[in-house]
Amino acid sequence: GAVVSQHPSWVICKSGTSVKIECRSLDFQATTMFWYRQFPKQSLMLMATSNEGSKATYEQGVEKDKFLINHASLTLSTLTVTSAHPEDSSFYICSARGPSGRDTGELFFGEGSRLTVL
């Protein structure tokens, strides 16, 4: 149980275009999902906390107009990188608290999405 699926796993886009990444909890309801960004050989950097039915909470320094997050249902959160630029190229990872995660903080992760902006 507690499977999180992320799509696409790999995307290339042209500079100036927008890209949407989906994160789905397949066998549980996730009221809270987290979006991370990871640079090569570095740790995870939390970008925002996505709450179902309400606005996402962004970490300091993360542009909310650039990284649009929508959590419209209990099983789906989306991250849209708007007007992408080469510096947005990175590995983006979503995660969700599992059924027991509300108390423990344990997270279940999607496969990650590699974004390359040309």
Give the nearest distance from C-beta 86 to another protein in angstroms.
20
Pairing of strands 113-117, 10-13: parallel
Give the nearest distance from C-beta 111 to another protein in angstroms.
5
Return the number of the residue (79 or 107) whose C-beta is nearest another protein: 107
Residue 62, classified by CB atoms within 10 Å of its CB into exposed (0-12), middle (13-18) or buried (19+), is middle
Give the nearest distance from C-beta 112 to another protein in angstroms.
5
Sign of the dihedral through C-alpha 57, 31, 89, 82: negative
Return the number of the residue (31 or 82) whose C-beta is nearest another protein: 31
Q: How many CB atoms lie within 10 A of CB 39?
A: 11
The token pair that represents 12 in the structure block: 């290339």
Interface with another protein (CB under 8 A): 32, 34, 38, 41-44, 46, 49, 91, 93, 95, 102-112, 114
Return the number of the residue (27 or 106) whose C-beta is nearest another protein: 106
